[in-house]
């Protein structure tokens, strides 16, 4: 790996092989150092996507960000708050309190090493507590941001020609399947073409869990997925990150 910051990725793109000297050199060239932390999950994604789908998606987004902006790419948090998926085998969760503590500890450790800005790239919609971590960072000496926002997804979907709304495309649908078809096609099994299932009214999801709304674990239209859509989704999100990078590296936050 060259000292210019070119990344060599291992384990399906989940890990960077930066050395401490690579980190030092990258940090010396910027006014404010920014670290990017992908947060995924280990939960069911139907019969055709892996349990690690949310982690793979978060890492794909973070990897594209790290290729376009001078940030430190951290390894992912791979298990998070997937309690609503507990009825399916293979799903593993930690409590919101634990996830909160892990991200806060990572931010504190980064700050001690001179990195005072952390952007959390969230790949799992059930990680509501990440919003609280970022919210509470104001005034603490640590700058934090949570990415992508719903608006970022909306704009990226429009760019990519995604046909399913964010409401309908809730889980293992057009968006996630498209990103994996582009970034990790070897992880997508046959069957997504015939697994569409829609359940737009999910108002009791947190009380009843996913199994009250879907037998297969799928809510969305994966049949509409495509690798080119996945490529454009990542490109759109990478472009959207520019506003976040400008904000967290500015002299003052407004």
pLDDT at 12: 55
Band (pLDDT 50/70/90 cuts) for residue 7 is very low
Res. 238: pLDDT tops 70: yes
Band (pLDDT 50/70/90 cuts) for residue 28 is confident
Q: Could you read off the pLDDT of 158-176 as tens digits, one per residue?
A: 999 999 999 999 999 999 9
Closest residue by Cα to residue 124 from 171, 185, 72: 171
Average pLDDT, the chain: 93
Between CA 30 and CA 24 the distance in angstroms is 11
Closest residue by Cα to residue 116 from 148, 144, 78: 144
pTM of the complete model beyond 0.85: yes
Q: Could you read off the pLDDT of 80-111 as tens digits, one per residue?
A: 999 999 999 999 999 999 999 999 999 999 99
Res. 10: pLDDT tops 70: no
């Amino acid at each position: 790996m060259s000292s210019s910051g070119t990344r060599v990725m291992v384990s399906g793109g989940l890990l960077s092989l930066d050395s401490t000297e690579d980190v030092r050199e990258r940090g010396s060239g910027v006014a404010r150092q920014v670290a990017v932390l992908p947060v995924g999950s280990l939960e069911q994604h139907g019969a055709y996507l892996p349990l690690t789908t949310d982690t793979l998606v978060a890492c794909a987004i973070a990897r594209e960000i790290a290729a376009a902006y001078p940030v430190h790419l951290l390894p992912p948090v791979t298990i998070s708050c997937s309690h609503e998926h507990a009825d399916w085998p293979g799903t593993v969760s930690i409590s919101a309190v634990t996830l909160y503590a892990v991200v806060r500890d990572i931010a504190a450790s980064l700050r001690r090493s001179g990195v005072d800005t952390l952007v959390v790239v969230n790949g799992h919609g059930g990680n509501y507590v990440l919003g609280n971590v970022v919210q509470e960072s104001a005034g603490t000496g640590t700058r934090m941001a949570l990415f992508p926002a719903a608006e970022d997804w909306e704009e990226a979907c429009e760019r990519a020609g995604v046909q399913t709304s964010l409401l309908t495309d809730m889980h293992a649908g057009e968006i996630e399947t498209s990103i994996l078809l582009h970034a990790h096609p070897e992880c997508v099994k046959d069957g997504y073409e015939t697994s569409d299932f829609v359940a737009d009214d999910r108002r009791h999801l947190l009380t009843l869990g996913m199994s009250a709304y879907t037998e297969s674990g799928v809510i969305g239209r994966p049949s509409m997925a495509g690798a080119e859509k996945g490529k454009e989704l990542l490109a759109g999100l990478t472009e959207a990150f520019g506003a976040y990078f400008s904000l967290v590296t500015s002299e003052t936050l407004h």
